[in-house]
Structure 1
Amino acid sequence: MTATDTEVFPRAGALPYLIVGRARSAIDWYRQVFDATLAGDPVVLEDGRIGHAELVFPTGMVYLAEEFPEMGLSAPEAGATSVSLMLPVDDTDAVLTKARDAGGTVERWIAESHGHRNATLLDPFGHRWLLVGPLTGRRQGAATGTGR
């Protein structure tokens, strides 16, 4: 997202550290859907769990690790996450469609409000994402779709 086509988003004051049940699958999904890249190799523990991975998104970074119930770290239960991750994107329609087609669940289809084109989805690992992109000039409601 460039400063010429939309506002510049502030740098996050806190870095999200996602806990997931299947870290390898989550890394693949975030790479496929959100164009994230790995910053180095994940830390793989002796028991095979990923203890730490760093994903670089076009607009920031997210850390990720497997569940560690012995430390009180568990992935969110379906519908029980208390945090939404706001992700600025260049094309809300394209990213939401890619996410849905890759197994994400659309919670709120695309709407234009507050000067942005936005939508909400749950990824297959229980995390909620608020996609926020520039207005397209499209008539609201022109894109239709349903969640999975």
Structure 2
Amino acid sequence: MSMKPRLIVPDPDTAATYYQKTMGAEEVFRAQDDNGRVMVVVLQVDGSPFSLSPAVPEWGWLSPDDIGGSPVLLEAEFADQDAVAERMVAGGGTVIVPVENRPYGKREGRLRDPFGHLWIVTGELR
């Protein structure tokens, strides 16, 4: 099985730029509808893909802001969790739990990106 999260965002182009700048994501695919509206952008971070699509309420595609917050935590492992968290905040994200060494052997924190998605930024102790 392969699983690839698709994040629903107000503007896939803005979100793609944010993830490229903050997480080092690379765009690997993009599709538009007949009107030129971006319907999916596939990004990849260190071999792990995820997609972005716009909110389309008639299809049930709702962003976190549309439903009052995200019910999902996305856990992403990075070599330098502090740098990623700093870039996320500089780009408009919010720290929910600071990045710190945890007693269970990980260095991690929790952040909300500017689109309402919740992230656990994790990795090895430093």
Structure 1 Cα separation of the partners of residues 47 and 94 of structure 2: 22
Match of 2:57 in 1: 69
Q: Indicate conservation of the 8 Å contact 1:59/1:87, yes or no.
A: no
- The offset of 1:14, in angstroms, is 2.7
SS of residue paired to 1:99: helix
Q: Would you say 1:24 and 2:13 are equivalent positions?
A: yes
Q: Residue 99 of structure 2 aligns to which amino acid in structure 1?
A: I
Q: Indicate conservation of the 8 Å contact 2:12/2:40, yes or no.
A: no
Match of 1:45 in 2: 33
- The offset of 1:59, in angstroms, is 4.7
Q: After the TM superposition, list the runs of 4 or more consecutive aligned residues in structure 1 that deviate by more than 2 angstroms.
A: 46-49
Match of 1:116 in 2: 106
Structure 2 Cα separation of the partners of residues 23 and 74 of structure 1: 13
SS of residue paired to 1:70: helix
Structure 2 Cα separation of the partners of residues 68 and 16 of structure 1: 17
Which of 117, 123, 126 aligns to 1:127? It is 117
Q: Give 5+ residue unaligned stretches, structure 2.
A: none
Equivalent positions of 1:135-146 (< 5 A) are: 135-136=125-126
Computing the radius of gyration from Cα coordinates, the structure with the larger value is 1
Structure 1 Cα separation of the partners of residues 117 and 37 of structure 2: 19
Report the count of equivalent residues.
Answer: 124
RMSD: 1.7
More strand by share: 2
SS of residue paired to 1:39: strand
Q: Residue 121 of structure 1 aligns to which amino acid in structure 2?
A: L
Which of 91, 104, 114 aligns to 1:102? It is 91
- The offset of 1:46, in angstroms, is 2.9
Q: Scaled by the length of structure 1, what TM-score is found?
A: 0.78
Deviations 1:96-117 (A, max 9, x none): 1111111111111012121110
Q: Percent identity?
A: 30
SS of residue paired to 2:65: coil
Q: Give 5+ residue unaligned stretches, structure 1.
A: 1-11, 137-148
